[in-house]
Structure 1
Amino acid sequence: MPAGTKIEEQKGWLADWLATPLRRNRPLYLKVGLAAALINIFALVTALFTMTVYDRVVPSNATDSLIALTIGLVLVLIFDFGLKLLRAYFVDVAGARIDRDIGRSIFDHILTMRLDQGRHSTGGLSGLVREIDTLRDFFASATITALVDLPFTLITLAVIALIGGWLVFVPMAMIPLVILVALATQPLMRKLSSETLGGALGKQSVLVETIGSLETVKSANAGSVLSSRWDSAVTGHAGASLRQRIVSNVSITIAGTAQTMAYTGVVIFGVFAIANQSLTLGGLIACSILAGRVVAPLGTIAHLLTRLNAARTAYRQINSFMEQPVEGPSGTGMGVRQLDGAIEFRNVDFRYPGAPELALSNVNFRIEKGEHVALIGPIGSGKSTIARLMIGLYPPSSGLVLVDGTDVRQLSPTELRSKMGALLQDNVLLTGSIRENILLGRKEVEEEEMVRACKVSLAHDFISRFPSGYDLELADRGESLSGGQRQSIAMARSLVGRPPIIIMDEPTSSVDADTERRLMNNLREEFEGRTLVIVTHRPSLLRLADRIIMMANGRVVMDGSPETIRNQVADIRSAMRGRDGQAA
């Protein structure tokens, strides 16, 4: 799904993200249905073959007829075998396509979801994606087979009636029993399916959180806390799963018992029919075989209804996520061919999801093209929040964030960020080579430009010493590298391609003073003629800025040149010392 588009509204009883893959695989479903229908017909042939042998071949010892019938049965079995293989193949192909299409839609939605709508836990979100398997299994295999087999229940009953007459009422009596028990368990199954899915997502959340921060867990001795959470999640999930299996087994077991009762009932009452000479021995055997096949599809339906609740719960969870709005404009959005680099905040308020207070309140400033601005202020003053709003990670709660005079909400987020170089506080690297982490699929960037950016960020100094160089494979978010090395690579990623706007949040927080000094010399020339917004607590980085914006409590409290800000701060400190002296 392209960035900037909205999830289509639910159509009919299925949302578009699920209905479209199902419609696209309709030809395969028709082939599966046709194969299943022929398989059911061949099953009738087997019963009729048995009846013919007992009634015609055995009494007259007609060996030639038996050979002819056997040849015909072998041909039927060969076709039956081939059709079952084809049915399984078509079902697997349809399932793979559905898995691919739905997975792509969900992953694209994850990439474009609006962060201001509330963040999902990493484990919970990954667990939710795993529920694609539940939907795929339901729509791709058991559903089609059961729906095709069900009409043949009536055909099988009709054949039993033609052969055994009133014996048809024996399997017919089992049908309401199976259906009523399956329907009676559905309300409880729906509740248990929801509890089971919630427990599974809880387990996944704790597991992913623990694995992703194992060093922190060990160093902070937080194992007992997470172990307690894990035990609670596992206990809840195991209990719900156990209750779900027990209830499910009730309907499935009753269906199996009803199938046996239908078979034995026909045999028992068939004896009286044979005594009355209204049924032959071959007819009794054929009716007993067919009686079992009458109830078998209903047993599948009982099992299908059990799986239906799990699929319905998974569908509702995934659909609730898919209905959340995506970032960017509602239409195609405005393209971003060229950026001059002017940025303006106009009466901007912003509150993080679930936060009790505003992170930004009535923020106003304008950054001209090519201007270098430093954002300073105490922790929690809103500096990093401003950086996030500039690159469109969050839309403002009110007011406007303008880039070159255009509201960022009207611009395609993907195109906007391709023209910006962003280095945030979390220097996360992806699994793959250093080269892939720097270029991120930008094929238009040449090798020379990548190396130039790495030399500016000083990443080339240590990368050139690796035996594999830029092809060194990283794993676990680059944990094998030091914090400073990861920050240097992330900085090179933000500088490659010479973007007209560069936003950096504490770019030297992980390096020593000597490295910072060398880096400052490189960056001063690198930023020439480009718009720079740098968030920092370090006074040394202020030499890169020709303007300082000071934040406090989510508001702009000072805005001016470094010299002006220093004078204002000195005056405030002098006034405070004088007030303290008078008070003393």
Structure 2
Amino acid sequence: MSYDVPIVAPKQRFAPWLLEPMRRNKAIYLKVALAATTINLLGLVSSLFTMTVYDRVVPNNATSSLIGLSIGLGIVIIFDFILRLLRAYFVDVAGAQIDHEVGETLFAKLLAIRLDKRKGSTGSLTGIMRELETLRDFFASATITAIVDVPFIVITLALIAVIGGPVVLVPLAMVPLVVLVGVLTHPAMDRLSARSMGDGLLKQSVLVETIGSLETVKASGAGGMLANRWRKAVNQHADSSLGQRLISTIAVTTATSANTMSYAGVVIVGVGLLQANEITMGGLMACSILSGRAVAPLGQIATLLSRMTATRTAYRQINGLMDSPSEGPPGEALVPTAFQGRVELRNLSFRYPGAPEKTLEGINLKIEAGERVALIGRVGSGKSTIARLLLGLYEPEDGLVLIDGTDVRQFDTARLRALMGAALQDNILFAGTVRENICLERSGIDQEEMLRVADLAGTHRFMGQIANGYDLRLTDRGEGLSGGQRQSISLARALAGKPQILVFDEPTSAMDAQTEATLIERLQGELQGRTVILITHRPSLLRLVDRVLVVEGGRIAADGPREDVMQRMAKGKAA
């Protein structure tokens, strides 16, 4: 009897979202490594130049030889200068390409993340996105140069041994000292870096929350509370960052001190050898220069270890975001071209993450294509949740959400929402022009269509009287416009392109009675033949629908023609 043993692929050191851009830039990194290698080889020339001058030129007063050597050294310096520029250029190019590819992938992941699996506040997510800069700085720095410099420690020490013999023991003793300090400080650096990043994300969270709701903070008098949170977050971040910098400084300073001790030690030992005629003056000068070059890469490695710790912490945070579940099916998604408009909720139940009770339970509902339905009920009854599930913003805990007989989880989420028009309770506009907020750079929505839906939603009534009209630039969230104006623009955005399915959640809550009545009149003809799900507390909006559902406690309490349901509700209130 034989058994099939599943083969588990070894876990990669780097995730594909980072590894693949690095592989695509392999040729550039090879050029950087080649340039760094050549620079290190040319660096050895200066010490040999010094040795030759002291040992051959000075004793023999060979001026012509000095001129020739100087010309040669000048050529070496020019080549070194050019190679250093090319190395910096290639490092920047590779870093920019990785930043572009990883940044694009990360933002696409942010847009596709499942809302019920999202971790952390808006500020925390913003902070994680900001950590992309840490990754970019690492790969756009001289990281590859420091790696290439390490083997040249051995080559440089070998050259010192050839020239100065026992002198090599001095810089050789410094190498394990610097490495030992780096190894001993690394665990503390790793721990403090993670703590510092966590404190930084907390500080970012308080900042984003305050800036995003500054008007509410002022009006409600929440400034003191948020100031205390900010002060605590800043103090915590300052403490953890201070510890991180101190530990990092120990490693870097040790490398710097080792460089000085190496130079001084070579001179001291070399003087003894010089008196014993075991080394020449030129050899001693060359060894002193080479000792600095042998220990200098260790300082770069100490700095690199500090950067690597911060980069590893940033990588873990970003990779955690990249590993979070995405919207849509695990396999190939269906890409619909059009919807007829049939909607069905089958035995639907839903619970928000962390909530003790279900928001919806056992919902069964069928809406035919072209049918206009209103959902009414008390605050918190689950009406808005139904809208979110229809749009695929959340996945049901149990049951199905079907459009034209297909589970919405099988659709490509971007295409699903492109075929639906939605105006939700939070009328959030984006920084940019009013035109951009309505059209959203969607294909098929030209200026004629924009003006049509703007007139329908009532946007043209106030935008047509402004000098720059639809090119008026809005700030974040549409600040500067009234609630009713923002709501009007959101409605125009939902109506643009004539989607077959429309989801409106309190579309006129910020409008006055006259504006609302005018809007209802304009929408009467526009909504004919389309599937409309309208969530409202306003009886006046029920003129737009033919069927009314009453939602109570996450269940459908009543369902029927508009007039019948309203009469039953009126009798219930009278009783």
TM-score (norm 2): 0.97
Asked if residue 443 in structure 1 is aligned to residue 425 in structure 2, the reply is no
Cα distance between partner residues in 2 of 1:36 and 1:573: 84
Asked if residue 500 in structure 1 is aligned to residue 500 in structure 2, the reply is yes
Identify the residue that residue 379 of structure 2 maps to in structure 1: 379
Cα distance between partner residues in 2 of 1:60 and 1:221: 86
- 1:471 positional shift: 1.2
Following TM superposition, the consecutive aligned residue runs of length 4 or more in structure 1 with deviations greater than 3 angstroms are: 570-574
Kindly indicate whether the alpha-carbon contact (under 8 Å) linking 1:402 and 1:408 is maintained by their aligned counterparts in 2: yes
Kindly indicate whether the alpha-carbon contact (under 8 Å) linking 2:94 and 2:139 is maintained by their aligned counterparts in 1: no
Cα distance between partner residues in 2 of 1:494 and 1:519: 14
Alignment of 1:328-347 (within 5 A): 328-347=328-347
Kindly indicate whether the alpha-carbon contact (under 8 Å) linking 1:431 and 1:474 is maintained by their aligned counterparts in 2: yes
Kindly indicate whether the alpha-carbon contact (under 8 Å) linking 1:266 and 1:291 is maintained by their aligned counterparts in 2: yes
Cα distance between partner residues in 1 of 2:512 and 2:72: 86
Identify the residue that residue 87 of structure 2 maps to in structure 1: 87
Kindly indicate whether the alpha-carbon contact (under 8 Å) linking 1:349 and 1:363 is maintained by their aligned counterparts in 2: yes
Alpha-carbon displacement from aligned partner over 1:291-345 (angstroms, at most 9, x marks no partner): 1111111111111111111111110011011100110111231111110000000
Asked if residue 324 in structure 1 is aligned to residue 324 in structure 2, the reply is yes
Identify the residue that residue 370 of structure 2 maps to in structure 1: 370
Alpha-carbon displacement from aligned partner over 1:362-401 (angstroms, at most 9, x marks no partner): 1110100000000000000000000011111111111100
Asked if residue 453 in structure 1 is aligned to residue 442 in structure 2, the reply is no
Cα distance between partner residues in 2 of 1:388 and 1:11: 36
Alignment of 1:140-539 (within 5 A): 140-539=140-539
Identify the residue that residue 14 of structure 2 maps to in structure 1: 14
Kindly indicate whether the alpha-carbon contact (under 8 Å) linking 2:370 and 2:529 is maintained by their aligned counterparts in 1: yes
Alpha-carbon displacement from aligned partner over 1:536-566 (angstroms, at most 9, x marks no partner): 0011111111111111111111111122213
Alpha-carbon displacement from aligned partner over 1:492-512 (angstroms, at most 9, x marks no partner): 010011110010000110111
Letter in 2 for 1:211: I
> Percent of pairs identical after alignment?
57
Letter in 1 for 2:144: I
Letter in 1 for 2:106: I
Letter in 1 for 2:41: I
Alpha-carbon displacement from aligned partner over 1:172-220 (angstroms, at most 9, x marks no partner): 1111100011000111111100011011111111111111111000000
Identify the residue that residue 580 of structure 1 maps to in structure 2: none
Alpha-carbon displacement from aligned partner over 1:22-69 (angstroms, at most 9, x marks no partner): 111111111111111111111100000000000000000000000000
SS of 2:565 mapped into structure 1: helix
Cα distance between partner residues in 2 of 1:140 and 1:160: 33
Letter in 1 for 2:217: V
Asked if residue 76 in structure 1 is aligned to residue 76 in structure 2, the reply is yes
Cα distance between partner residues in 1 of 2:235 and 2:307: 22
State the Cα RMSD in Å.
Answer: 1.2
- 1:125 positional shift: 1.2
SS of 2:141 mapped into structure 1: helix
Kindly indicate whether the alpha-carbon contact (under 8 Å) linking 2:91 and 2:142 is maintained by their aligned counterparts in 1: no
Unaligned runs of 5+ in 1: 1-8, 578-584
Alpha-carbon displacement from aligned partner over 1:129-156 (angstroms, at most 9, x marks no partner): 1111111222232320110000000000
Identify the residue that residue 556 of structure 2 maps to in structure 1: 556
Q: How many pairs does the alignment contain?
A: 567
Cα distance between partner residues in 1 of 2:507 and 2:139: 50
Letter in 1 for 2:251: S
Identify the residue that residue 5 of structure 2 maps to in structure 1: none
Kindly indicate whether the alpha-carbon contact (under 8 Å) linking 1:376 and 1:550 is maintained by their aligned counterparts in 2: yes
- 1:120 positional shift: 3.3
Unaligned runs of 5+ in 2: 1-8
- 1:571 positional shift: 4.5
Cα distance between partner residues in 1 of 2:486 and 2:140: 44
Alpha-carbon displacement from aligned partner over 1:64-87 (angstroms, at most 9, x marks no partner): 000000000000000001111111
SS of 2:290 mapped into structure 1: helix
Cα distance between partner residues in 2 of 1:215 and 1:440: 27
Cα distance between partner residues in 2 of 1:273 and 1:206: 65
Alpha-carbon displacement from aligned partner over 1:246-269 (angstroms, at most 9, x marks no partner): 111111111111111111111000
Kindly indicate whether the alpha-carbon contact (under 8 Å) linking 1:103 and 1:132 is maintained by their aligned counterparts in 2: yes
Asked if residue 37 in structure 1 is aligned to residue 37 in structure 2, the reply is yes
Kindly indicate whether the alpha-carbon contact (under 8 Å) linking 1:10 and 1:16 is maintained by their aligned counterparts in 2: no
SS of 1:450 mapped into structure 2: helix
SS of 2:379 mapped into structure 1: coil
Cα distance between partner residues in 1 of 2:568 and 2:559: 10
Cα distance between partner residues in 2 of 1:457 and 1:413: 26
- 1:282 positional shift: 0.3
Cα distance between partner residues in 1 of 2:572 and 2:528: 33
Cα distance between partner residues in 2 of 1:436 and 1:573: 46
Q: Give the 3 Å change call, closer, same or farther, for CA 45–197 of structure 1 in structure 2.
A: same
Cα distance between partner residues in 1 of 2:335 and 2:280: 81
Kindly indicate whether the alpha-carbon contact (under 8 Å) linking 1:32 and 1:87 is maintained by their aligned counterparts in 2: yes
SS of 1:141 mapped into structure 2: coil
Cα distance between partner residues in 2 of 1:294 and 1:127: 39
Letter in 2 for 1:348: L
Identify the residue that residue 111 of structure 1 maps to in structure 2: 111
SS of 1:532 mapped into structure 2: strand
Cα distance between partner residues in 2 of 1:278 and 1:347: 94
SS of 2:150 mapped into structure 1: helix
- 1:460 positional shift: 0.9
- 1:573 positional shift: 3.8
Kindly indicate whether the alpha-carbon contact (under 8 Å) linking 1:142 and 1:304 is maintained by their aligned counterparts in 2: no
- 1:94 positional shift: 1.1
Cα distance between partner residues in 1 of 2:308 and 2:476: 38
Cα distance between partner residues in 1 of 2:122 and 2:535: 27
Alpha-carbon displacement from aligned partner over 1:443-470 (angstroms, at most 9, x marks no partner): 3222221111111111111111010111
Alpha-carbon displacement from aligned partner over 1:514-555 (angstroms, at most 9, x marks no partner): 111111111111100000000000111111111111111111
Kindly indicate whether the alpha-carbon contact (under 8 Å) linking 2:378 and 2:552 is maintained by their aligned counterparts in 1: yes
TM-score (norm 1): 0.96
